Amino acid sequence: MGKFAVSTRANGEYQFNLKADNGQTILASEGYSTKASCENGIESVRKNAPDDGRYERLTSKNGKYYFSLKAGNGQVIGSSEMYESTAGRDNGIESVKKNAPDAKIDDQTA
């Protein structure tokens, strides 16, 4: 089972990374000004992760592949790393779908 690792950025913002069983980050959040809004972002990922229609499959300018997970309002709530192939990106999406709904929160801010 995956986990949401919550941490603080150098500028004081909160962020989370969804990590797979092997510890690899499969989804990274934007920065949040409060811990509560970061936790709301995690809940949004849990809610939206199973819905394939919430994923935007993208290609970067350098030809690598990645995805964004969007909330119902269209706002990006997390983005993936860069993948060498569309198959790698699609496996990343499947991993988020599998891990996010039941992932525990690992609060590393304390």
pLDDT in tens, 45-68: 999 999 999 999 999 999 999 999
Whether 110 has a pLDDT exceeding 80, the answer reads no
Strand 104-107 relative to strand 3-8: parallel, antiparallel, unpaired?
A: parallel
What is the mean pLDDT of the segment spanning 39-46? Answer: 97
* pLDDT attached to residue 1: 81
- Residue 40 CA: distances (Å) to CA of 33, 34, 63, 72, 91: 12, 10, 32, 14, 25
* pLDDT attached to residue 15: 97
Average model confidence (pLDDT) for the chain?
96
Whether 86 has a pLDDT exceeding 80, the answer reads yes
Domains of the chain: 3-107 (2.30.29.80)
